[in-house]
Structures are given as structure tokens and as C-alpha cells.
Chain A
Amino acid sequence: MTDQEILSGLAEIVEEIAGVPADEVTPEKSFVDDLDIDSLSMVEIAVAAQDKFGVEIPDEQLKDLKTVQDVVNFVSKGV
């Protein structure tokens, strides 16, 4: 799976769960500061990402995943 594929898959999840249009989910964006996603929705996004990409995201990792690129990198390493 390419980084671009991970990004577009993640963007779909974020749109579904948090209502942020997928084209606004770009690599440099911070989930909290730019996309206005709260910690509860972040948990839901992480679970959906685990299901979609088959990569476990432990809680202690999740708190370090601040930007869209951070998640893409994490998934990319795990795939």
C-alpha cells in the first residue's frame, strides 16, 4: 500500500467520523489544531484505521500521532 493510498483511506475515515471533507485531510494538518477533532473522535478514527489497514495502533502510540502524516507514516511502517 502506497502512502498516497493510506492518505486517501485515512481521509475517508476522517470524513465519515468527523465530517471533515476528505480533500482537507492533507499530510501537514494537525488533527486537534487544524481539523478540530477531539480525543473521543480520535479514538474512533484509530479503531477504524486499524480495521482498514490491519495495523494495531496502541494507545501510547496514538497520543504521539499528531498530524495526518504521522498516522500515514505509522501505518506505512506497520503494513
Chain B
Amino acid sequence: MSKADPAGGLLSVVVTGLGATTPLGGDVTSTWSAMLAGTSGVRRITEEWVDRLPVKIAAPAAVDPVAVVGRVQARRMDRCEQLALVAAREAWADAGAPTVDPWRLGVVVTSGIGGIGSTLAAYDTLRDKGWDRISPYTVPMLMPNGAAGWISIEFGARAGAHALVSACASGAEAIGYGIDMIRSGRADVVLAGGAEAAIMALNLGAFAVMRAMSTRNDEPERASRPWDKGRDGFVLGEGAGVVVLESQAHALARGARIYAVAAGAGYTSDAYHIAHGAPDGAGVERAIRYCLDDAGLSASQVVHVNAHATSTPEGDPLEAKAIQSALGAAASGVIVSATKSMTGHLLGGSGAVESVACILALRDRMAPPTINLDDPDDDMTIDIATKPRPLTPPADGSPMAVLNDSFGFGGHNVALAFTEYSGG
């Protein structure tokens, strides 16, 4: 309960639970084994509206959340809220369903777009049947903080429920804010993550009109191909990731299993263009450097980066250069992976799912592969895993660190650092 770290510094934050429901599997174990096996979750979509669109592929959640949440609760929740709740329940159970003072338990669970499916469906009802046929739960279904609210209710979390929104950086930013809640003494335990459920005609059309999406419709499994010369845009995925963050003291007091230290976060904004990353990559580079500073890490401790790398022609090389310049000479020892090659892009869920992947990479000392990288860009200097690759601890015996990059429209750059937990 004490606010101050006995050592006088910031409270140490650890990860004690993981949850995910993704295009690769309905839980963490199935998702992670599919990742290590290099499985693609992308497939041809069959809804009739796809005929009107140039994009006919996506990566839907492998397990329908309605079946997990239950029909009655699900009809009051948007699909992104359902996915978030599924991941939160798994993470909570994985953490051993800790007993926590409700006023010390926080939630930071967000989304890039929020309840867009409910918004669209409610509008159809309004137009076709009238205002009084709209579900009375429409507002809580469409609001982007809905998942945070539902999760706070489910677990009785009363230290604050938050939903920071920064497009495709939202899930990572949520975890960063969760770390801050514990460091600043506002909470002992925080459920943090993000979710997205946006595979609908409007969203596919809206991204397609930006020319941001892959139209490799005849080869869905090969469509998401970060850093490959043949890439032609991202593939929209859906799902959620949630982690249980906990102060080290709280985790130790209850004898919790500790996966990793949630060591720090770095943030910048590009202030350049609403939907294009700044071409100098300075915002990304600094977010990574600020993250290392915040976590008290040297670049030589970093063994793995789970990159944002969405498979867009312009974004991927920018990030590769920024990783190289942020880590400097140490970059040569870093294995980089783009798991979006398998999951597609979960927008506001991606930073959370990729943080789960980072933490499991640390646990297993194994970087997941980047699939479809058949013909890499010519000037690549970073080392990209195309098969699962073992991670080797730094020679000086310091703890291994892994990073997750997440960027969002609006110019948001977020980097998170997780390190091996080495006891007391």
C-alpha cells in the first residue's frame, strides 16, 4: 500500500497474468503456439458486402467471443468489448485471481475505434425501424471506454477505469498508463490492454480508400508481409490482449508467479501528418530511446523487438531505420519480429497482443517468426527473424530486455520495455 518504493525510486511493476484472443487462437497458449509455428490467421472473408470492396481478406478472431461471454451479456456489449472481456478473464485467472482491495485495482483497457459495429448496426435500425427500436445499450456499446467499464464491473476494480485512445498505439499506451498507475501509487494491480473488432465494410472501405490495405485477395495467408518487397498494405485483424500488471511488492506478498518486469514506456508524437509517419523517423527513434531511459536499460540489454511493422510500403522501412538508429551499435545483436505477418493488424488491440508475445518471448527465450519475408527490402540492416530464433542473454549477465513498438494515426509513437525478472 505504501506509495514510495523503500529504495526511494519508482515502484517496480511486474506482469503476473496474460490474456489474449486473436486470429490465431482463443487464448494465450493457442495464439503463442500458432505464432511459433508461423501460422497465418488471414483468410478470405465471405460476407456479401465484400463484393463491393477491393479488399476481400481479413484476420477474424479464431473464437467467437459470444460463445465465451454468453448470449445475454453479449447482446449488451459490442464485439470489441466482448473480446476485451474474454482476454481480461483469461489474464485474471492466469494471475491466480488475486485478492485485491477494490480501491487499489485499476483498469486501462482501450480500443482504436471502439464499438463501430454497434454504431453501424444501430444506425441501420434507426433508419429502417425508428429510434425506439435501437437497443437501450447502444451508447455503452459504441463508446470506446465501454470495455474498460465492463471489465471494472466484472472484477470490482475501483481505482479508476481508463481508456486512452491513440489509434493503433492504443493497446501499448494502455499498458504504459497502467505501469504509471502502479508506479505513482494509485493502484497495486491493473488490468491493461486493448481490443478491436472492426472487420466491417465501412472500415475496410475507409482504409482501402487511403490505399493502406493489402489487396492480395487470392493469397490471404501471404498478404501480410512486413519488409518484403512484395508487400502492398496491411491486413485488418481483430482480437484483444490484456495483461495483469502488479507492483512487485504486492506480487511477492501473495506469492504470485512473475512473468517479467514491465520496465518502462516511451512516448513521442510526430506532429507531422494525421495519417503518415514523419519520414525522418525521429519520433520513433526517440520513443525507443525514451523507453530505454524510463526503464533504466542500456541498448545492449535489448535482445528482441516486436515491431509495429504493419506491411505498408512506407511504414516498415521507416521503423527499421529508427530501430537501428535508436539502438546504435547494439542493434546488430537484436532479433526483430513482426507478428502482424500472422495476426494481421489488430489496430487498438495490436500493442497489447504484441506485448503478450514479447513477454512469452522472454519466458521461452524465443523470438517468434516473421512470415512471408521472401524478398526483403535491399537496405535492411536489422536482423529479422523468419523462423523462431532463440534469444541469448547479454554477455555481461544483465537481464534480457525486449521492446514492443506501436504507432498510430495521429502521429502517436509508443515503445514498451519488458525485462526478465531476476528475483527480489
Contacts and interface: CB of A to CB of B under 8 A. Distances in A.
Interface string A15-28: 00111000000000
B105 to A, nearest CB: 23
B71 interface: yes
Contacts of B71: 19
Interface of B: 70-73, 75-76, 132-133, 135-137
A46 to B, nearest CB: 10
B72 A47 contact: no
Contact of B137 (A19, A40, A47): A40
Contacts of A43: 136
Contacts of A41: 76, 136
A3 interface: no
Contacts, number: 17
A34 interface: no
Interface string A38-62: 0011011001000000000000000
Given A40-B136, A44-B137, 6 more contacts: A18-B72, A19-B70, A19-B72, A19-B73, A40-B137, A47-B132
A37 B76 CA distance: 13
A44 B135 contact: yes
A41 B133 CA distance: 12
Interface residues of A, number: 8
Give the interface SS of chain A, mostly helix, strand, loop or mixed: helix
Interface of A: 17-19, 40-41, 43-44, 47
Contacts of A18: 72
A17 B135 CA distance: 11
Contacts of A47: 132-133
Contacts of A19: 70-73
A17 B75 CA distance: 8
A60 to B, nearest CB: 15
17 contacts: A17-B72, A17-B75, A18-B72, A19-B70, A19-B71, A19-B72, A19-B73, A40-B136, A40-B137, A41-B76, A41-B136, A43-B136, A44-B135, A44-B136, A44-B137, A47-B132, A47-B133
Contacts of B72: 17-19
A17 B137 CA distance: 12
A35 to B, nearest CB: 12
A43 B135 CA distance: 9
A18 B73 CA distance: 8
A18 B137 CA distance: 12
Nearest to B71: A19
Contacts of B136: 40-41, 43-44
Contacts of A17: 72, 75
A18 B71 CA distance: 10
A37 to B, nearest CB: 11
